[in-house]
Every structure is written in structure tokens, then in C-alpha cells.
Structure 1
Amino acid sequence: MTQLLSFDDVHLYYDHVYALKGVSLAVNEGETVALIGANGAGKSSILRAITGLRKIRSGQISFDGRRLDGMASDDIVRAGISMVPEGRRVFPLMSVRDNLLMGAFTRSSKGEIQQSLDMVLTRFPRLKERYSQAAGTMSGGEQQMLVIGRALMARPRLLLLDEPSLGVAPKLVQDIARSIVAINRDDKVSVLLVEQNSRMALRISQRAYALTIGSIALSGDSADMLNDDRVKKLYLGGEI
């Protein structure tokens, strides 16, 4: 497999507090990689470092052979990376349509933007039903679909997802999980998935990294980690 994202020996601080301690990981083209771990383990800090929202102290982040650390966030989007942030963060007074179009701010071809819009509405039929509705009036699960769709409007090669199941009804969690699989498989978008729902994350990814207090504790094939006694005890709450 061709390596798409390289995160090499990265150290990151919040003021004087260590958030990442020499973390190294990779995402290959065409795969879904999960980051699992407790709150405060550093999962979201990895995504913020990749997108330029937090400046790293040392190390190197590369995407498709191009150095990312030090690059402006909008240029990182143009390079082919989109992030779905934790907490959804829709524009509540704007319609579903206008929220989606905000995701295409780096693109200029109206025809290609319309193609992406049609693709997103096919992927998430509920958004088509709510197309003219104010985003803030939708349910949490519907808003989560919206922000994933908005990220896809940038036509990314790598999609970063930060806790997509957080605060979402169980039925819609299943729908979102299936959507992530389809985005990776059918749209050929690589995915880096941060999730506290470790079972779900391991079931829909090919590889995974388990974090603890700013460091990688375990890594490997997701199927193997599902059956690893250490992972069951530390991240899955016992036997599955």
C-alpha cells in the first residue's frame, strides 16, 4: 500500500502540558485507521496537529510526500484533507444546502461542486429531505450526517473524523458507521477515525492505534485488536 499520511515522532504541548509524546503513525491510501483511547489520551490532538489547528513542538507530518506542519489550515484542506470536528458545529441558522456549500469554499468549478452536492445527498438521503431546513433544528444524528457531508464537499483524499458517534442515538450510530464504510470503499477516501466507541471503530477499520496519555500503547490490525485481551480490558470494558 502507498503511504498517504505520515505522522513521525510528533511532540505537542498545550502551554507546558504534554499532549503528544513522540507519537508516530501512518495512514495508507485506501484504508480506514482508528484511533481509540480514553478522554485526554491525545486522539483529538493528533487531528488538530494534522490540520494545523495546533502547532507541534517537534517531529514531522507529511501528506502524500508533502510536509504539512507549518502549513496554513486552508492550504491543508486544499491539499486534500478534511476534518469533521467533535461536537458537529453546524451553522445553525443556515439551511442544510448552505451548510453543505460552505464545505466547498476551496473549489471554484460550479459543475464539480454540484456533482459533489448530488453525491452527498445520495449518500445521506435524510439531508435531501431536510435540504431547505435550518441545520440547528435537526436532530444530533442528522447534524452529524450534515457535517460529514460538508467535509466531503471539499473532495478530500483523507477524511478525519473526531468522535462521530458522540451524542448520537444508537440507531443513527449504525447508519453513520455504514456511511463511513461506504465513503472509504465506494468513494475511495482514506479515513482516520477518532472514537471512544472502540467496538464500532475496530469493526469498521482495517488498522488501529490505541493511545494512553499522549503515547501509542498498542497498534495492529483491527480484527486482531478486537480479540486482544489487553484491548478488551483497557478499551472495550471486558469481554465482547
Structure 2
Amino acid sequence: MEPLLKFDDVELYYDHVYALKGVSIEVHEGETVALIGANGAGKSSILRAITGLQKIRKGEIRYHGKRIDGVAPDEIVRLGISMVPEARRVFPFMTVRDNLLMGAFTRSDKAEIQRSIDMVLTRFPRLKERYSQQAGTMSGGEQQMLVIGRALMARPRLLLLDEPSLGVAPKLVQDIARSIVAINRDEKVSVLLVEQNSRMALRISQRAYALTTGKVALSGNSAELLSDERVRHLYLGGEF
């Protein structure tokens, strides 16, 4: 079966410094795939390339079999790909409600937008409690829930998550991890998850790629990688 997303032999540079060198990954319909690795390994660069925010120098990116490298970012959203960026980029002076509505800017089915809001508020009850509150006054974990909810408002087939646990209190990290599992399972949204919290990422994904200095070092079933001695040594803090 053809993958939903195929990232094939991609090279990406920032000026003359390479960020990705011959990277190939796949995401199939209905699965959660994790990208793990240290800072600077190239994880976020993969997401920026998929969303059209950074041009690639070599290779191909295909979504549903259609080549999308070179496609404008807003058109990529319309094709069914949404990204939750790193650092919880909310509109701080807008309410939770208005932030969610911003996520639906590509949609023309206005009558269905309220149903999507209701779905997000059911998925994240804290957002319902703060529905009329300015987003910038909420906690880091609550803002992370909001940016995930905002991305879901576009009704994506593929959700890209960039470090959703970064700077979030441990209790809310668990809530966010459970929500990612539920979004994949209940909303039938495929997920590509970038995480430095490798243990969490491997526990909630089906497959994973471990990156180092712009290349894929290891890949495979997440449960198997979780017990792999090389992964434990390099990414999980275990003894080698």
C-alpha cells in the first residue's frame, strides 16, 4: 500500500550547512510515527520541509502520491496537513475561541465549524473552562492543548507535532500524550511526532526513526526500539 506521506532521499540546507542529508521516512494511513534525536539532529527540519516552510535541495516529498515539495504552505494545509509548531505559538491577545477559529481559516463549510470546536473542547476540557480567556494568560500546558486543538480545526488527515511536551508540567505531559493517542485512534488522524522525550514518543507511536546529525541512524517498530540497547544508550539515558 502506498504511504500517506513519503519523504524520499531529501537533502535540506540552511545557507551552506546541511540539516538533512539523504533522509527517507514514511507515514502510513492511520499510524503514529515518532522522530527522536538530540537538538540539531534534523527532526524539526523534516517538518519544515513537509509544510513548505523550508525548500529542499534534493529528493521528493509526496502526500497521497502527489509531489508537494515546492507547494505553498497554505495549499499544503488545504491538502490535509496541519502542523503544531514548537514553542506553543498562540495568538496571546485573542481568546481560546478566536484562536480555534483561526485554525479553520482554510475551510468553507462554515456550518460545520462549530461541530469541530465542540470536538476540540470535548477532547480538551480545560479549553472549555477557559473558552473566553485570552490565550496568553494560560499555562504552558493549556497553551499546548490550544495549539493542538487549533491544528485539528483544519480537519487534517496528517498532524505534525513539533516537541509537544517541551516546557510542559509532567502531569500535563501525560494528558497531552493521551490526547495524541486518542486523536490518532478516534479521529483517524495520522501523526508524525517530533519529540526529545524519546521514552514518551516511543510509547505512543507504532514506528519510529532515530536521527543523528541530519541522517536516519535507526528505524523500526517503536516497542522494539524502546528495548534496543543502542536506543537506550543514545536517547533514553540507559547504560550501554
TM interval, shorter chain, is over 0.9
Task: Give the equivalent residue in structure 1 for 2:30.
Answer: 30
Task: Name the CA distance, whole Å, in 2 between partners of 1:210 and 1:113.
Answer: 37
Task: Give the equivalent residue in structure 2 for 1:207.
Answer: 207
> Structure 2 matches for 1:1-240, cutoff 5 A?
2-238=2-238
**Deviation of 1:2 (Å):** 4.6
When the two chains are superposed, the root-mean-square deviation of aligned CA atoms in Å is 0.7
- CA deviations 1:34-80 (Å, max 9, x no partner) are 00000000000000000000000010000011111000000000000
| Gapped regions of structure 1 (runs ≥ 5) | none
Task: Name the CA distance, whole Å, in 1 between partners of 2:110 and 2:188.
Answer: 22
- After TM superposition, the score normalised by the length of structure 2 is 0.99
Give the letter aligned to residue 92 of structure 2. Answer: P
**Deviation of 1:114 (Å):** 1.1
CA contact (8 A) 1:2 1:29 kept: no
- CA deviations 1:97-128 (Å, max 9, x no partner) are 00000000000112111111111011001100
Give the letter aligned to residue 85 of structure 1. Answer: P
Query: How many correspondences in the alignment?
Result: 239
Give the letter aligned to residue 97 of structure 2. Answer: R
| Gapped regions of structure 2 (runs ≥ 5) | none
Identity %: 84
**Deviation of 1:196 (Å):** 0.1
Query: SS where residue 219 of structure 1 aligns?
Result: strand
Task: Name the CA distance, whole Å, in 2 between partners of 1:40 and 1:109.
Answer: 40
Task: Name the CA distance, whole Å, in 1 between partners of 2:112 and 2:160.
Answer: 22
CA contact (8 A) 2:165 2:195 kept: yes
Query: SS where residue 82 of structure 1 aligns?
Result: strand
Query: SS where residue 3 of structure 1 aligns?
Result: coil
Q: CA 1:124/1:2 → structure 2, altered by over 3 Å: closer, same or farther?
A: farther
Task: Name the CA distance, whole Å, in 2 between partners of 1:22 and 1:115.
Answer: 42
Task: Name the CA distance, whole Å, in 2 between partners of 1:195 and 1:129.
Answer: 28
Task: Name the CA distance, whole Å, in 1 between partners of 2:101 and 2:167.
Answer: 25
Structure 1: 4+ residue segments shifted above 2 A:
none
- After TM superposition, the score normalised by the length of structure 1 is 0.99
**Deviation of 1:173 (Å):** 0.0
